[in-house]
Amino acid sequence: MKYTELDEKGQVAEVQKLVPGLLSQYGIEASSVENVNHSFNSSFKVTSTNGDEYALRINLGSGKKPDEVLAEMQWLEALAEDRSVLVPEPIRTSNNEILIRTPFTPLNTDTTAVLFKWIEGEEAGDEITDDQLFELGQNMAKLQLFAETLDFKSPASLPLINSTMMNSEDLLTSKQPKEINDKLYGDILKALAITDEVHTRLSAETKLLPIHADMHAGNVIVNSGKLAIIDFDDAGIGLPIQDLAISNYYIRDNTEQEKHLKAGYASIKELPKISESDYEALLLSRLVVLINAVLGMTSAEIIEFLPTFMIRCQLRLDHYFATGQLLLTK
């Protein structure tokens, strides 16, 4: 049976076969291994025989090249030393490598794996508070300020993500995907034309810099009352306003929450200037890139969810074209 035809349990079992060999390169013997996330990538909580805890991420869904993952890890090492923002601290192998390249036979592909110290706590998730949103905005601004002077060591380099598709393989424009009906496909292409124009125009007017590009509440761990920012897998060179638009996409049904996020950012760094229509287009671009992303995902849960997701996307596009606003609950 093909990997994409397996259920989630079967897929995780296949990925987990990589874990002992990966851990051996760190000199770690595991007493327990638990899959904690299997969607875009696959992540495991590892407890060693001496009681140390780690997070192992295997980049099954990432479109990043090894040199781009290397840049992500260099950024995290620098942040872990600086401590202005709480982030995962990378662990190097016994040979002082910060990432591991590994084949994954079930998908006939080569991938990378990275290891971090485990951050204790719970995801902020849907229960994120106004105060936490304010702190998240502050952390976003701090990350951007830190990134302005970031110097990557060759051959590390982050990808350019100042476009609708960011660093994703374009699965939409060459031909109509079988999962998308004619009306939805036409609306997606219409949206893509709008969002590409906005990204191009803003990029000509704005200094690009490294951004996290995925700072939603699911990538925030509440650790001893403070927020830890995880999952830099989407990080790239982009527009500062992209960070805010991406975060706001996930809380778009509550404009009061948006205000707290932006206020936190503004307490550290001036908010990027942007028109309301351009900002809505950046929110729209998040929807488009998510549609593109799920088409390429191999996890069983996402494959099962695809039809429902496409229906929701059509409703959101209908609302945008009728009102000029992207609201997630309409």
Residue 209's alpha-carbon distances to 153, 202, 243, in angstroms, are 16, 13, 11
Mean pLDDT of 19-40: 96
Cβ within 8 Å of residue 232, ≥6 positions away: 72, 75, 76, 87, 88, 212, 214
Alpha-carbon distance of 120 to 233, in angstroms, equals 20
Mean pLDDT of 16-41: 96
At 330, the pLDDT band (50, 70, 90 cuts) reads very low
pLDDT at 264 over 90: yes
pLDDT at 63 over 90: no
Alpha-carbon distance of 249 to 286, in angstroms, equals 7
Mean pLDDT of 254-280: 96
Mean pLDDT of 57-77: 92
- CB 86, CB 132: distance < 8 Å: no
Residue count of the chain, please give it. 330
For residue 108, the model assigns a pLDDT of: 93
For residue 40, the model assigns a pLDDT of: 82
What domains, with CATH codes, occur in the chain? 3-121 (3.30.200.20), 125-323 (3.90.1200.10)
Give residue-wise pLDDT tens across range 70-87: 999 999 999 999 999 999
Give residue-wise pLDDT tens across range 137-196: 999 999 999 999 999 999 999 999 999 999 899 999 999 999 999 999 999 999 999 999
Give residue-wise pLDDT tens across range 90-141: 999 999 999 999 999 999 999 999 999 999 999 999 889 999 999 999 999 9
For residue 253, the model assigns a pLDDT of: 86
- DSSP state letters, 122-171: EE-GGG--HHHHHHHHHHHHHHHHHHTT--PPTT--PPB--STTTTS---
Give residue-wise pLDDT tens across range 205-251: 999 999 999 999 999 999 999 999 999 999 999 999 999 999 999 99
Kindly report the average pLDDT of the chain as a whole number.
95
pLDDT at 277 over 60: yes
For residue 298, the model assigns a pLDDT of: 87
For residue 308, the model assigns a pLDDT of: 96
Name the residue with tokens 């109509």.
Answer: 176
pLDDT at 33 over 60: yes
For residue 329, the model assigns a pLDDT of: 59
